[in-house]
A and B are shown apart, each in its own frame.
Chain A
Amino acid sequence: MKKKKGVSYAKWGYIFALPFCIAYLIFMIYPIFNTFTIGFTNMTDQVQMQIAQDKMIGIEPTVQVEVLENPMENYQFVLSDPNFWSSLKNTCIIWGVNFVPQILLALALAVLFTSNRSKIRGKGAFKVLFYMPNIITAATIAMLFTKLFDYNKGPVNDILRMLGVIDENINFFSMKGASRAIVAFVQFWMWYGYTMIILISGILGISPELFEAADIDGANGWQKFFYVTLPNLKSIMLFTLVTSMIGGMTMFDIPFMIGGQGGIKGHIRTLSVYIFEMSFTGGKLYNRASAASMLVFIMIAIMAAVIFFMLRDKDEAARHKIEKAQTKAYKKALKEQKAKGGVQ
């Protein structure tokens, strides 16, 4: 009976963690490694087709997938490709134009919905409606907005004409600024509700005593906002910022679906669209697209590192230390007990 108590269940920890580890290794680590390697090779669709063809005829492949003589060639190509830099620029512009109004509006709404003084009716319904676009398929939304802003039969042109703002229909997607603004607007429209809910839960997490103390000191609404709410939301705002940046770096669905409406692709081509076009359309230059992927990966890894250090909570580390000391003491006691048993 005594022996059973000492049974270690530790091995079950490994067993239960095993499926995750295997799946992660196969479907994430290996593809990362694979992408990384392809970035140094000559692997393109052309080479792969040639190999397949040669094999079909039954001769030794005349070409091979191999590491390039200058392994950094693909990286050099991408880094000197004006399209890569313009994609990076587009990504940053579209993200920035969407994020600044997004966080400001979300913050204003979050303060409004959590304030005791202004009793807003129908808060729940507003929250449901503001969040709604976030859950709807981005591809569909992108397509819908291309139709809404359509040159010939778009409702937006109809409304503007009805209001007398314009005399003739505007071809929004032929204009650089307008097409970027539309992509940014759709991103803003899809995400401000989400950010608002995150900030509301952040504000509700601030100790009410702080607000009470401010009330007693006679602070007005603005003072409370600047001296209590805002400083306490700092970490959650940083979290929102970085997650949104990572999401922005991989922005794909909306620019990809809106793009292709003739001549506008260049203005709204984001990094993800750049990679997709390079690797899965036209010449299928897997090697160069891999190099571009790795460059984006590095940028995201840096941002993810920021999140990681924020999420790591310090209490946990302290608890871990105590735990370690306890297991040590426990093992020692166990040993002593064993030794005693041996004597008896």
Chain B
Amino acid sequence: MGKKSTGSKIAHFFIYVVLILLAVMSILPFWVMFMNATRSTPEINANALGLLPSKYLWYNKSVFDGKSFDAMTGFINSMIISAGATALAVYFSSMTAYSIVAYRWKLRRPFFTFIMAVLMIPSQIISIGFYQMMYSVGMNNNFLPLIIPSIASPAVVFYMKQYMEPALPLEIVEAARIDGAGEFFTFNRIVIPIMKPAIATQAIFAFVNKWNELFIPSVLLTDSKKYTMPMMVSLLKGDLYKVEYGSIYLGLSLTVLPLFIVYFLLSKYIIAGVALGSVKG
């Protein structure tokens, strides 16, 4: 008995060692990034593995003055695109899911089958056709082609439908009708509030996915004033910053700082959302 417990103690110890190593592996790259953002190039030259902050944050920031990398512009652009796209995605996906759950129309089942069939088609495969279409109507370098298509988000519709089916008793809808409520009124005032938890979860994922998107924005946006945050990162590859190591780390830190804040505030919900099988690209 005693032997076994020492054996399992050792096993337990090893498990913790592995878990802690993996945790360190998750944190360390970002830690080095944030710390090096405050260190000067000579300091990084001497020892690139910065674990403690230094005092060159303002200097590193000043390097960006008047250059093309502009975190604030990137932040605002990404915010507009992500917020707009997220709002459209969750509202219209709820609406589409409602049409499937609440009404008995002839093409209901084929329609849902179709949504499941196209669930996995990635948008970058059609990028050339999409670009040519937007170019011909002069919509390149415009945010709308990055926002409006979110109205049709099959993955979000699928999730909303799965959530709505058990959560929304159709008796409530019937009752609203008897009280003389219009269909849109019922949807906006009764269904949307019931869907709040699902909307919140999907909003987080839609927002983060849009924020991180690189391919389609890189295709459509060529004006550096319109660049999104991930596109700003590619500017850091330029020769202008080649010798300013601290500034590169600072630039990288700035592009992901909002995500870290969101993640640590909402990690509980995010992980619960992943567990519910939110379909991600």
A residues whose Cβ falls under 8 Å from a Cβ of B:
9-17, 19-24, 26-28, 30-38, 43, 112, 118, 120, 125-133, 135-141, 143-145, 147-148, 150, 153-155, 157-159, 189, 193-194, 197-198, 200-201, 243, 246-247, 249-250, 252-253, 256-257, 260, 272, 275-276, 279-280, 286, 289-290, 293, 296-297, 300-301, 303-305, 307-308, 311-312, 320, 323, 327
Say yes or no: A16 contacts B276, CB within 8 Å. no
Which among A125, A139, A304 is the interface contact of B234 at CB below 8 angstroms?
Answer: A139
Collect the chain A residues with CB atoms within 8 Å of residue B123's CB. 28
- Least CB distance from A187 to B in Å reads 13
Q: In the complex where A147-B249, A153-B48 touch, is A126 in contact with B187 (Cβ < 8 A)?
A: no
Q: Which applies to chain B's interface (DSSP): helix, strand, loop or mixed?
A: helix
Residue of B nearest to A201 (CB): B275
Query: Which 10 A/B pairs are nearest by Cβ-Cβ distance?
Result: A34-B129, A13-B103, A13-B105, A35-B129, A16-B99, A31-B129, A23-B151, A27-B149, A24-B152, A23-B152
Say yes or no: A34 contacts B132, CB within 8 Å. yes
Say yes or no: B99 contacts A13, CB within 8 Å. yes
The docked-state distance in angstroms from the alpha carbon of A276 to that of B128 is 9
Residue of B nearest to A195 (CB): B274
Collect the chain B residues with CB atoms within 8 Å of residue A155's CB. 32, 48-50
Q: In the complex where A16-B96, A136-B259, A280-B218 touch, is A200 in contact with B275 (Cβ < 8 A)?
A: yes
B211 interfacial contact with A, CB 8 Å: yes
Q: Which applies to chain A's interface (DSSP): helix, strand, loop or mixed?
A: helix
Which among A253, A307, A327 is the interface contact of B104 at CB below 8 angstroms?
Answer: A327
Which among A19, A32, A194 is the interface contact of B129 at CB below 8 angstroms?
Answer: A32
Say yes or no: A159 contacts B49, CB within 8 Å. yes
- Least CB distance from A308 to B in Å reads 5
Q: In the complex where A16-B95, A158-B49, A250-B125 touch, is A137 in contact with B117 (Cβ < 8 A)?
A: no
Number of residues in B with C-beta < 8 Å to the partner? 97
Say yes or no: A280 contacts B219, CB within 8 Å. yes
- Least CB distance from A39 to B in Å reads 9
The docked-state distance in angstroms from the alpha carbon of A127 to that of B275 is 11
The docked-state distance in angstroms from the alpha carbon of A112 to that of B124 is 37
Collect the chain A residues with CB atoms within 8 Å of residue B120's CB. 243, 246, 300, 303-304, 307-308
Interface string of B221-236 (1 = CB under 8 A from A): 0000000011101101
Say yes or no: B26 contacts A129, CB within 8 Å. yes
Can you report 18 A-B residue pairs in the complex whose CB atoms are below 8 A from each other? Answer: A10-B103, A20-B96, A34-B128, A34-B132, A120-B19, A136-B263, A137-B230, A143-B233, A155-B49, A201-B276, A252-B214, A257-B233, A279-B131, A293-B125, A296-B125, A297-B121, A300-B121, A300-B122
Collect the chain B residues with CB atoms within 8 Å of residue A198's CB. 274-275, 277
B281 interfacial contact with A, CB 8 Å: yes
The docked-state distance in angstroms from the alpha carbon of A253 to that of B117 is 25
Collect the chain B residues with CB atoms within 8 Å of residue A197's CB. 271, 274-275
Say yes or no: A289 contacts B128, CB within 8 Å. yes
B residues whose Cβ falls under 8 Å from a Cβ of A:
12, 15-16, 19, 22-23, 25-27, 29-30, 32-33, 44-45, 47-50, 92-93, 95-96, 98-100, 102-109, 111, 113, 116-133, 145, 148-149, 151-152, 154, 157, 183, 187, 208, 211-212, 214-215, 218-219, 229-231, 233-234, 236-237, 245, 248-249, 252, 255-256, 259-260, 262-263, 267, 270-271, 274-277, 279-281
- Least CB distance from A131 to B in Å reads 6
Say yes or no: B23 contacts A130, CB within 8 Å. yes
Which among A11, A14, A31 is the interface contact of B133 at CB below 8 angstroms?
Answer: A31
Collect the chain A residues with CB atoms within 8 Å of residue B50's CB. 155
- Least CB distance from B208 to A in Å reads 6
Which among A126, A140, A304, A308 is the interface contact of B230 at CB below 8 angstroms?
Answer: A140
Collect the chain A residues with CB atoms within 8 Å of residue B245's CB. 147, 153
The docked-state distance in angstroms from the alpha carbon of A12 to that of B95 is 11
Say yes or no: A272 contacts B124, CB within 8 Å. yes
The docked-state distance in angstroms from the alpha carbon of A148 to that of B117 is 41
- Least CB distance from B89 to A in Å reads 10
Say yes or no: B49 contacts A308, CB within 8 Å. no
The docked-state distance in angstroms from the alpha carbon of A137 to that of B228 is 11
